[in-house]
A and B are shown apart, each in its own frame.
Chain A
């Protein structure tokens, strides 16, 4: 349709201004991340002068018991929050799409609350609830709060996916003798597996990096890694933070790439597409 002449005219009209802004935006987007990574290898304590390459901040990290404890706690919290929110969220998403009871519209409404409430509000609220019930803030309270927060994400991700499933395949399984539960377990859940795994990875990354909710619901010791980083950068610059930050960055990027790769790993092979109706 577009003649060569027209394409040439279009090329003349390339939005140079927009492209320049985009280039500058990318520079500024990556500069802070780059600074953290670069200075994590600095031989000196300075944050402005690079002075030789060393791994001293990484080795310092390995001997920092407090930080390692925090890392362990963050990993435990992320795993538990991932598992808990998946169980509750997958069930909720299935119910939201398939059930037409009045409970569904209520559930659909409160599920949106965490997404449109600033984290500081949910954080304050969770803290007050635990204190009001006389529960000492600890690793467990962080886990409970993070599960609550993550259910919404699982449900939002899976809802559209379930809506795209063809329910008649389930009905076919039942006509072949499966019960409703067996059809769910043997047909629907395997079809949803890629999306479930992808949201699992995403939840893990989000919870591991979460700060505000963890900050309000954590006890004294151990504290989640992000809370530990917060106190470190508030009270003086410590180059180990660059090393921690670099490792967290690498971990997050790895997880995001994994989440993106999962649907592809399952590919367009197998019976999955038949079920999804795609």
Chain B
């Protein structure tokens, strides 16, 4: 790309401006250009216009997003007055209330469901990404598009259709009964398995896309080398393909885990009252319970868990990069 744009670049090289110290002609990547002299460059090469363009968007995001998130953090320390109205304060009652076993059970369940969702998504996404990337041929893009398109259907409608499929006399259980894998009492809906099935259906695309991208980039001659060294398909997959694509898998896990932890639709439609996740608790505190400070505290708890997860991911990828650089 650099060489090609260089060609256009030299053809369109502007005449020298005597007032302006002209750096040697380089590619379009201005950043790499050495600064001729710090003062003049800032004024002439990088006009204020670009900074001005940043301003409205930044102000908007600060006003609506940063401020609102700070508000949640502040209200988590607030209280409710006897009428149930939220009051700002400096009270740790909400945070200590989170230690209540009722909440920690829900948090642990949410963590468990989100982690299992990640694992199942990995188990589904690896073969799918592998088959499309390595055997897709010229249909690769079409197949990937076929995976992405239903994802753009309304989330609720997809979940609703999925709950119909999984229902007690829905097509899936009927088929399983026909081949003897399920009996009449087998249920998927109203169980934890139903919630996880919903989460996997909702977010597995986020696993497939980064894994597929990693497989596409992978040097397939490595796989051939594994075979030439008499590795069986499973060994080759475990010791060649998985290590080569683990960054895609890690990115996919983050992309699945984040929304799965925060989801409340799946637990509502696929699970019962005893399958609720932290998202349902938050929703309940804000709509039914009208205890906003407690809802804010739960939201902060969710954020804290996800932040720890992100931190782990970043450390992992940094270690990977350091290893790759060695």
Q: Which of B229-283 contact A (CB under 8 A)?
A: 233, 258-259, 261-265, 268-269, 279, 282-283
Residues from chain B with a CB closer than 8 A to the CB of A127 are: 286
Say how far B207's CB is from chain A's closest CB, in angstroms: 11
Residues from chain A with a CB closer than 8 A to the CB of B169 are: 48
Residues from chain A with a CB closer than 8 A to the CB of B75 are: 128
CB closest chain-A residue, reference B269? A233
Residues from chain A with a CB closer than 8 A to the CB of B65 are: 110, 113-114, 122, 125, 148
Residue pair A205, B128 in contact (C-beta under 8 Å): no
Residues from chain A with a CB closer than 8 A to the CB of B170 are: 48
Q: Which of A122-166 contact B (CB under 8 A)?
A: 122, 124-129, 132, 144-145, 147-148, 151, 155, 164-166
Complex Cα–Cα for A253 and B146 (A): 11
Residue pair B135, A15 in contact (C-beta under 8 Å): yes
Residue pair A33, B54 in contact (C-beta under 8 Å): no
Tell me which of B58, B165, B264, B265 contacts A92 (CB under 8 A): B58
Residue pair A180, B49 in contact (C-beta under 8 Å): yes
Stretch from A16-24, A54-62, A63-71, A192-200 forming part of the interface with B? A16-24
Residue pair B296, A128 in contact (C-beta under 8 Å): yes
Q: What is the total of A-B residue contacts with beta carbons within 8 Å?
A: 283
Bits for B15-31, please: 1 = Cβ < 8 Å to A, else 0. 10100000000001011
* Total contacting residues, chain B, CB less than 8 A: 94
Residue pair A104, B127 in contact (C-beta under 8 Å): no
CB closest chain-A residue, reference B285? A124
Complex Cα–Cα for A114 and B306 (A): 13
Residues from chain A with a CB closer than 8 A to the CB of B145 are: 260
Q: Taking chain B's interface residues, is the majority helix, strand, or loop, or is none over half, making it mixed? A: helix
Complex Cα–Cα for A89 and B169 (A): 48
Complex Cα–Cα for A64 and B82 (A): 42
Some 22 contacts from A to B, beta carbons below 8 A apart, are A17-B233, A21-B124, A22-B132, A32-B165, A35-B161, A88-B57, A91-B53, A92-B57, A95-B50, A99-B54, A104-B54, A118-B306, A126-B64, A127-B286, A129-B67, A148-B64, A151-B57, A151-B61, A216-B286, A230-B265, A241-B157, A252-B154
Leading 5 A-B pairs by shortest Cβ distance: A118-B262, A32-B161, A92-B57, A95-B54, A277-B5
Instruction: Show the binding face of B for A, using Cβ within 8 Å.
Output: 1, 4-5, 8-9, 12-15, 17, 28, 30-31, 46-47, 49-58, 60-62, 64-69, 71-72, 75, 124, 126-128, 130-132, 134-135, 145-150, 152-158, 160-162, 164-165, 167, 169-172, 201, 224, 227, 233, 258-259, 261-265, 268-269, 279, 282-283, 286, 292, 295-296, 299, 302-303, 306, 310
